[in-house]
Amino acid sequence: MNDARFRIAPSPTGYFHVGGARTALFNWALARQLGGTFVVRIEDTDADRNRPEWTEGIIEALAWIGIKASDPHFEGPYLQSDYTQQHVDAAQQLVDAGHAYYCDMTTADIEARHIANGKAEGSQGYGGWSRDRNLGPGSGRVIRFRVAEGVTIVHDEVRGEVEFDNALIEDFVLVRSNGAPVFVLANVVDDMHMRITHVLRAEEHLSNTPKQQMLWEALGASVPVWAHLPLLVNEQRKKISKRRDKVALEQYRAEGYLADAMVNYLMTLGWTPKGDEIQPWAQMEADFRLEDVHLSPAFFDLKKLAAFNGEYIRMLSPHAFLDASRPWLPDHFDESKFLAMAPHIQPRCVTLADAPGVVDFLFLAEPVIDRDAWTKTFAAEANVAILRETLAAYEALSDWQAESLKSAMEVVGAAHDLKLGKAQAPVRVAVSGRTVGPPLFEALEVLGRDETLRRLRNAEAALD
């Protein structure tokens, strides 16, 4: 394990954001590729958003996408709230060194001062009015950072050099009047204490990077490698958010997306795998480079995700497919039947949740009849006749193989001058209740002679 240390710093919100998952994956790929460490720090300083079980949820979500707490490269989770004293101490250190000062002005005071200075109501920015008042600690007082003059240049591994004019950065709050440290401070102090060397995070943080860089320097440390990743946006080109979009990783999992498909798709958001875009994790982990990360936002495209998922479902072995599908399957069913049909089910699924719909008729005591399909199919007299004739032919069949079932039906169809495509319809509806489904004769073979004949007789009786 070398000195390269990466981190993700999610705030506990009750779910794990797909954007956070993408950031985690990029960090994880690099940490492992470089032989470094990936640390997880839960940023729970906002007391309103803090539930112990949410941390567990984050760890579980990470494990699902392959970031296992048991991996030697994994470290944590740490809770930011455990380090509050360090944050406060750092703020005091900054005050002592003259990099920060106390201020007793409230938001209303600042607003009033703006108006008194002839500025418009709602004017923004704090004028550094308490800078030289030499206030000491006291109730209702915050600690603000004294922003020096000049410019701050952020060296970003993906965006190059980004320059910020310090004059445009107000003396920001480090510690609230209630004594609670603010995000920028806590984030930097923790990163320093955890010896973080690489900060890869979403682009939304680029704007407060100069503030953080000033803190690193004022605290006497050398800044980490910065890398701001392109935002994940929706069709409106806005940052995907809980309010507007489906962002919970857990929800995709619950809907039947495979972890491998999700991981592969997430990796393509802001980076392009070498060669085919469908790639095993090990390959992407080896190929990932910060310099290849894209600059423009990535649209989180559900259709593309679905395509990836379908692709991954088709790659599964029958047994792996069965295991993955279990949560969506009935409590009791004939696994050998499912396994026999698996190669026919897989190409018909976009998510694992689609699996039961394709083959449930094989396991149910009675097929669920789609009334429209039934009515439409048997409105044709010929179809009723075909059903009867097929039943008779099947009763007389000496074996029960897909090939024989197919041949027998071809004979019946030919008598009506119909191709198989048309002739199979009434039997499919009678047995499965639907007009669409897996290959019929293979399904009948799996369903078995007795059950098939029983359903055909039931259908015949229902038509009388």
333 contacts 269 by C-beta, under 8 angstroms: no
Q: Please, which of residues 241-300 interact with RNA by CB under 7 A?
A: 268-270, 272, 277, 292, 294-299
CB of 299 to RNA, least distance (A): 3
Q: Does an H or E element contain 451, and which? A: helix 449-463
163 near RNA, rule: CB under 7 A: yes
Given 225, 402, 453, 463, the residue binding RNA (CB under 7 A): 402
Given 159, 193, 326, 454, the residue binding RNA (CB under 7 A): 159
If the CB atoms of residues 68 and 344 are measured against RNA, the closer one turns out to be 344
If the CB atoms of residues 30 and 405 are measured against RNA, the closer one turns out to be 405
Given 45, 152, 264, 351, the residue binding RNA (CB under 7 A): 45
In whole angstroms, give the CA distance from residue 337 to residue 339: 5
If the CB atoms of residues 73 and 456 are measured against RNA, the closer one turns out to be 456
In whole angstroms, give the CA distance from residue 25 to residue 338: 34
What 3 state SS string does 159-212 have?
A: CEEEEEEHHHCCCCEEECCCCCECHHHHHHHHHHHCCCCEEEEEHHHHHHHHHH
In 3D space, the residue among 24, 65, 18, 26 whose CA is nearest the CA of residue 42 turns out to be 24
Task: Give the contact letters, 195-214, x = binds to RNA (CB under 7 A), - = no.
Answer: --------xxxxxx------
**Three-state DSSP class for 437?**
coil
In whole angstroms, give the CA distance from residue 56 to residue 124: 39
Q: Please, which of residues 174-193 interact with RNA by CB under 7 A?
A: 176-178, 180, 182-184
The sheet carrying 151-156 orders its strands as 160-165, 151-156, 225-229, 198-202
Helices (runs of H) and strands (runs of E) counted in the chain: 19, 12
Given 148, 168, 368, 411, the residue binding RNA (CB under 7 A): 168
Given 58, 105, 247, 456, the residue binding RNA (CB under 7 A): 105
In 3D space, the residue among 225, 258, 261, 262 whose CA is nearest the CA of residue 247 turns out to be 262
If the CB atoms of residues 57 and 270 are measured against RNA, the closer one turns out to be 270
In 3D space, the residue among 269, 224, 208 whose CA is nearest the CA of residue 7 turns out to be 224
Given 35, 52, 72, 125, the residue binding RNA (CB under 7 A): 125
Cα 234 to Cα 240, 241, 248, 275, 305: the distances in Å are 5, 9, 14, 26, 13
Active-site residue, from 242, 246, 274, 419: 242
The verdict on whether 119 is a catalytic residue reads no
Q: Running DSSP on this structure, what letter comes out for residue 77? A: E
Given 68, 131, 146, 239, the residue binding RNA (CB under 7 A): 239
| Omega cis (within 30) before 181 | no
CB of 80 to RNA, least distance (A): 7
The pair of structure tokens assigned to 231 is 């935002």
CB of 239 to RNA, least distance (A): 4
Q: Please, which of residues 53-82 interact with RNA by CB under 7 A?
A: 80
Using the Cα atoms of residue 407, residue 409, residue 415 and residue 420 in order, give the sign of their dihedral. Answer: negative
Task: Give the contact letters, 364-393, x = binds to RNA (CB under 7 A), - = no.
Answer: ------------------------------
8 near RNA, rule: CB under 7 A: no
Q: Please, which of residues 291-320 interact with RNA by CB under 7 A?
A: 292, 294-299, 301, 303-304, 306-307, 310-311, 314
122 near RNA, rule: CB under 7 A: no
Given 51, 52, 236, 251, the residue binding RNA (CB under 7 A): 236
Given 139, 421, 450, 461, the residue binding RNA (CB under 7 A): 421
33 near RNA, rule: CB under 7 A: no
Question: Catalytic amino acids?
Answer: 242
